[in-house]
Structures are given as C-alpha cells and as structure tokens.
Structure 1
Amino acid sequence: MVTLLALCSSLVWGTSDFAGGSFTKRIAAVRVVGVAQIGGLVIMTVVLLVRLVAGEVPADGLWPLYGALAGITGAVGLVCFYAALSLGTMGVVSPIAAMGAIVPVTIGISRGERFSVAVGIGLALMLIGVVLASGPELSGDAGRLPVLLAACAACCFGLSLFFMNEGAAIDIVPALWAMRVASVATLLTAWWLWPGGPPGGSVRRRDVLPLMLVGSGDLAANVLFSVAATGGLVSVVSVLGSLYPVVTLLWARALLDERLRPIQLAGVATTVAGLAFVVQ
C-alpha cells in the first residue's frame, strides 16, 4: 500500500506539472506556481477549520516548524529552478534538479534506514531513469550560474520532501496547512522582489480558477506522499514520489504528440526496470 500511495503521488504530481506547464507558455512560471499554491492553501484552510470546529486539536509537536520548512524549501527550490531555466538550457537544468530525491535518501540512510540489495538497486535505477528522462545535454558548455541554481533547486526539493515527511508523522493536516502558508508567502515575496518582475505574461482573471485547480492537484499529491511516508521508509518513498518528471513526459507524448529523444526513452525504460526491483 505504501508503494502504491507513493507512486500515485508521482502520478498526480506529474499530471499537475503537465497542466501547470501549459500555462507557463504564456504566463510567468513564478506567477503560475504562486496562484496554484494559493488554491492549495484555500483548501487546506477549509479542512483545518472543519477539524477545529469538530473539536480535533492539532497534535503537539514541531509540525508548524516542519511544515514551514517544507514550504519554504519547496518554494525556494521552484524559484531557483525557474531562474536556472531562464539562464540555461532545460537539458542541463532539469536533470540536475531531478536528483533532489538523493537528499532524503541520504538523510534516511544516515538515520539508520535499511533496505534490501534489490530495493537499493531499484532506487538507483529509478534515480538514473528520472535524470535520463529529463533529456540531459551530453555535450555543450553550461554556464556556472544555471548549474549552481539547479543544484540549489535539487537540494531544496529534496529537503522539502524530508520536512514534509517529518511534519506528516506528527499531524498531516496542520503540517500541510503550514507548508502552504509558508510556500505562498515565500513565492509572493519572490514575485514582489523580482527585479523588473518575473519574465513572462500576467495571470488573467479567467486563469485563476484553473490554476487553483492545478494547485489542488499538487496538494493531493502532497497528501498521498505524506500518508505513504508515515507508513514506510522516507528513503524509499521519496524516490517513488520523485518519478513525476517521467509522468509529465508521458503526458506530453500522449496528449501533445511530443517525440521522445532516445535518451528519454532509455530513461523511461530504466525507471520501469528500477520499479520492478522495488515492488517485487
């Protein structure tokens, strides 16, 4: 069940990313993500209020801290990622950012998590597969700043998964609410402080509801991942929950008829092979 929930989180994340990506073709990416995150915040606020009215008091613990850290690191990761894309090539930036799952895996192992050799091989294959599916540039010179920003994005994404797991282990609902509050505040601050404003178009009134629905999908993925993480090893769940770039790629192939490069096809095949090792 843990494996299924983690895979479902990747499916929902990848689908939301595909939908949100269609908006970034005409709207600044930071604006897209900011409005989408507001949609998730609205939902989590309603859910939290319902719990409070029903007399369910949030559990004691550090869930506000972990939730806030998950939101801040996730938002900073997104800003770094989009800034890197604006300065460099996607074939260099995306594969580096896709390696973020290494962070919670490393933390999990350092905290004593252990898994079988077969699962370890599967996790390694899936990480390699996600990087290959991102379509890495095997030649050409990449600027130093885009690479550094992409590496920062990877670290932030990985830390966000880890903090999300820690907060969910205490109390999922208030932790996810705190995460949304922090991410919205961080993104709106970045939006406001961006010199000259983020590159790209503005959000129109008719775009607000669809973007909030995209954010709702992202929230659903957060919930699936959090539930999975509370029942399994964070090192394993984090990798399974980080397969969303492959899902986005497959949606683009199915709905937009985008042709996959040979290295991307190899990445999808490698990911499937790694998954077979993990779920056996």
Structure 2
Amino acid sequence: MTALFALATALLWGLADFGGGLLTRRLPALTVVVASQVLAVVALGAVVLGTGAWREAGPQLWFAVAAGLVGPVAMLSFYEALALGPMGVVSPLGSLGVVVPVAAGLALGERPGPGQFAGIAVAVAGIVLAGGPELRGAPVQRRAVVLTLTAAFGFGAVMALISHASSGVTGLFLALF
C-alpha cells in the first residue's frame, strides 16, 4: 500500500509542477503560487480541523513552519524558471535539490551503505545529464538557471525540514505546512 501512495504522490506532484509551469506562461508566477498555497491551506486546514490533528503540535512544529516558509519561495522560483526556460532543462535541473536532504542526513550522522551511495550518484548523474545543455535551440537564460537552482535548494531544504519535523509532528498537521 505504501508503494501505491508513493506512486500517487509522485504522479500528483508531477502534474502540479506541469500545471503550474503552464499557468506561469499565462499568469504571473506570484499569482499562481499564492493561489495554489491558499487553496492548499483551505483544503488541508479543513481536514486538520475536522480530524483533530492540530492537537499533535510539539517542539518539532518549528521545522514544519520553516518548511512552510521555504516551500512557497522555492515554488515561486521554480515557476518563474519554467516561465523563462525550457521545461526539459528546468525540471530535471530542479531535481538537484535531492542533494540537500542527502547532505543534511550525512551531517546528522546518517551513513548510507555502498549501494545507496551508488544509487545517489547514479540519480544525480541522471539528473545532470537529463537537464544538461541543449544542443539545439536557444541557450538557456542565466536567470532561469539561477532560479532553478534556488528552487532546487529550497525543495531539498523543505524535504530535510519535513523529515526532521515528522519525528515529532505526524501526518495531516505536518501537511498543513
């Protein structure tokens, strides 16, 4: 069942990025981000209030709050980058954010095995190759690359913060941030 939820989450996350990228070509990125965040807070807030999940607040909540502040900035940077650059470059390059939670885990004493390190290296190499320079077409604007890397760092920071917050704050309440 966990794998099914993981696949559904990946699909929905990808659809959200794709839809947000398309919308930012027609609307200002700030409008898209604010609208999506307001809708998410309303929907998740209703679920949290309805289920009583708000009672779970503890000291780890501050990590969730930090993730809630960093996330929209990362999303705004990502959508602006998608509006400026080709999706085939911006999207894979934005996936380099995986480096942040890996680095955070290593800094906190986690030690992956050789197979895990090999998997991390292959994943990062694949991301770099998939988002590498286009051999045809116009070059990617420097601003699009900077915004994409800002988004990648932000998304990675959100994942690391949520991981830390989830050790004390569970499920629905954590999702609100």
TM-score where L is the length of structure 1:
0.52
Q: Are the counterparts in 2 of residues 97 and 154 from structure 1 also a CA contact under 8 Å?
A: yes
Q: Are the counterparts in 2 of residues 74 and 156 from structure 1 also a CA contact under 8 Å?
A: yes
Structure 1 pair 27–144 and aligned structure 2 pair: CA distance change class (3 A): closer
TM-score where L is the length of structure 2:
0.78
Partners in 2 of 1:136 and 1:28 — Cα distance? 27
1:170 maps to 168
Partners in 2 of 1:128 and 1:4 — Cα distance? 27
2:124 is paired with a residue whose SS is helix
Partners in 2 of 1:17 and 1:163 — Cα distance? 21
RMSD: 2.9
Partners in 1 of 2:101 and 2:82 — Cα distance? 24
| 2:133 equivalent among 120, 134, 137 | 137
1:171 is paired with a residue whose SS is coil
Q: Are the counterparts in 2 of residues 85 and 93 from structure 1 also a CA contact under 8 Å?
A: yes
1:154 maps to 152
Q: Are the counterparts in 2 of residues 84 and 150 from structure 1 also a CA contact under 8 Å?
A: yes
Structure 1 pair 144–18 and aligned structure 2 pair: CA distance change class (3 A): closer
**1:129-154 CA distance string (max 9 Å, x none):** 34444x43245755443332222111
Query: What's the offset of the Cα at 1:159?
Result: 0.3
Count matched residues.
174
Partners in 1 of 2:22 and 2:89 — Cα distance? 21
Q: Percent identity?
A: 34
**1:194-228 CA distance string (max 9 Å, x none):** xxxxxxxxxxxxxxxxxxxxxxxxxxxxxxxxxxx
Structure 1 pair 149–22 and aligned structure 2 pair: CA distance change class (3 A): closer
Give structure 2 stretches of 5+ with no counterpart. none
Query: What's the offset of the Cα at 1:82?
Result: 2.8
**1:144-175 CA distance string (max 9 Å, x none):** 43332222111111101111222222113333
Structure 1 pair 60–147 and aligned structure 2 pair: CA distance change class (3 A): same
Structure 1 pair 80–4 and aligned structure 2 pair: CA distance change class (3 A): same
Query: What's the offset of the Cα at 1:84?
Result: 3.1
Q: Are the counterparts in 2 of residues 96 and 154 from structure 1 also a CA contact under 8 Å?
A: yes
1:122 maps to 119
Structure 1 pair 120–3 and aligned structure 2 pair: CA distance change class (3 A): farther
Q: Quick check: which has more Rg, 1 or 2?
A: 1
Structure 1 pair 108–5 and aligned structure 2 pair: CA distance change class (3 A): farther
Partners in 2 of 1:93 and 1:19 — Cα distance? 14
1:60 is paired with a residue whose SS is coil
1:137 is paired with a residue whose SS is coil
